Amino acid sequence: MLIRIFMAVIVTVAGLAPAAASVADTITIRETAGAAVANAPIQIGRAFVAGEVPNFPRAVVAGTPVTTQADVKCRWSDGSVKHAVISFMLPSLAANASVSVAFVDQASGNNTAQTQAQMLAPSFDFDAVMRLTSGGTTVTASGRTMLANGDYTTWANGPIATTVVLADHSTARRYDIGFDANRSFRPIVHATFWPTIGKVHVRFIGEAANTTAMQDLNYALGLSVGSSSPQNVYSKASVAQGAASRWTKDFWIGGAPQALAIDHNLAYLVQTYALPNYDTTKSYNGVTAAWNNWNSAAKDLYGAGNWTIYMPTTGGRPDIAIYPDWTMGWLYTFDPKMQQVAFGQADLAAAWPVHFREGSAKRGTATRFFDRARTVSPIGRPLSINARPTFTSGTLNWYINSPAANTDPLDYVNVVGPWGVNPWEPESRTCPIRSPRNTCS
């Protein structure tokens, strides 16, 4: 089972590293379907206490070290691992059994990535195609074409699992599609290739976020995976995609592996400062209610799920917190049902129109930069207040391109078509993490 943890923000007290861990750094993997598994793919994001892993982490399954690929994403000031994406194959697990996995140091992260040719090989049969139709016209984007053309970056590198992000975020935006010359739809594919089992995990992402081509989009959507014998895996007759929003769907080529549950050990994660200092003696007893609410909710693209999509709505709500109720339920139980709720809710939240990807290199005659030091190009990155210093979104996006917000026209995003009232309305006070001007994005 491919397990995802996205540690979006790792908070540390200024200049301080966590004290030595008093809770052992372990996770527990459980089989809950009543069927034994062998060669199960495991991929997790893992935060570590400072000083624990000097080089690269290695998984130790029931006392036996296994070949582990570790893609280190950041390190503590002492050089030890702070956060890494860890990939390994679980050799076996009996039906209804569990196994403890610890982590030790190793000299290498085993980061020799699969080659482009290997990922394009018939054994993976890789392709991921998006089809948009409107007014009798169909436009398509192919992940295989992006891969063959070399338009990708790697997120995880190694012989266990290679993850590539397939897209063209340059000003050429070769794969952007649409139904006018503006091509306002940005297709993105995340593909993870698992050679041991010959499977590919595919995540489709559709964006209407380009700052140079902002507009609402309406289309019929079809998604397919596979190259030699494509399989249609999703269709929706009418998608109303608001400007500055995105959506995502994920599937497997070669069939999904059997699901496994992972307890990521909340008490240990608190010690890493990746999460707030939660009282881990507390318990959560809302799994059944959360699961029932989720099952009765609208969960297709742009469905509300369990969100209150009009953020300014008053009153105490489960989504107003550092983390919403369902995420806390997952962290305190690591129940597979709560994982489905928390991850599903996270996917639906992409509908809020707070996504802006920079597409303009110039601010008038001056060059835009992403960072304050003026060294990093903003192209393809989230909108930065260094690139557009007076840009304001604010409550309900009322102040985008607004003189009332003292926005310099040089910092306006380029609206090329309709941008109507989106029922998903953001508000700065309700976003758990926000910058002073670029709310929620």
C-alpha angle 44/345/439, rounded to 5°? 95
pTM attached to this predicted model = 0.92
Ranges for all domains in the chain classified under CATH 2.60.40? 1-110+256-281
- C-beta separation of 357 from 438 below 8 A: no
Strands 152-156 and 186-194: unpaired
Structure tokens that stand for 58 in this block: 């290695």
Q: Which residues contact 295 (CB under 8 A, 6 or more apart)?
A: none
Rounded Cα distance between 51 and 48, Å, is 8
- C-beta separation of 2 from 253 below 8 A: no
Q: Which residues pair with 297 in a beta bridge?
A: none
Q: Which residues pair with 101 in a beta bridge?
A: 27, 61
Rounded Cα distance between 187 and 181, Å, is 16
Rounded Cα distance between 333 and 285, Å, is 9
- C-beta separation of 275 from 266 below 8 A: yes
The closest alpha carbon to 127, from 9, 209, 231, belongs to 231
> Which stretches of the chain drop beneath a pLDDT of 50?
1-16, 433-441
The closest alpha carbon to 130, from 172, 189, 174, belongs to 189
Rounded Cα distance between 351 and 440, Å, is 12
Rounded Cα distance between 16 and 255, Å, is 45
Q: What is the rounded radius of gyration, in angstroms, for the C-alpha atoms of the chain?
A: 22
- C-beta separation of 161 from 193 below 8 A: yes
Output the average pLDDT for the chain.
92
* CATH 2.60.40 for the 1-110+256-281 domain, yes or no: yes
pLDDT of res. 19: 52
Ramachandran angles phi, psi of 396, nearest 5°: 60, 15
Q: How many residues does the chain have?
A: 441
Q: Which residues contact 379 (CB under 8 A, 6 or more apart)?
A: 169, 170, 171, 358, 359, 361
pLDDT of res. 434: 32
DSSP 280-319: TT-----HHHHHHHHHTS--STT--TT--SBTT--S--TT
Rounded Cα distance between 158 and 162, Å, is 6
pLDDT of res. 188: 99
Rounded Cα distance between 191 and 162, Å, is 8
- C-beta separation of 166 from 130 below 8 A: no
Q: What is the pLDDT of residues 237-261, one digit of tens each?
A: 999 999 999 999 999 999 999 999 9
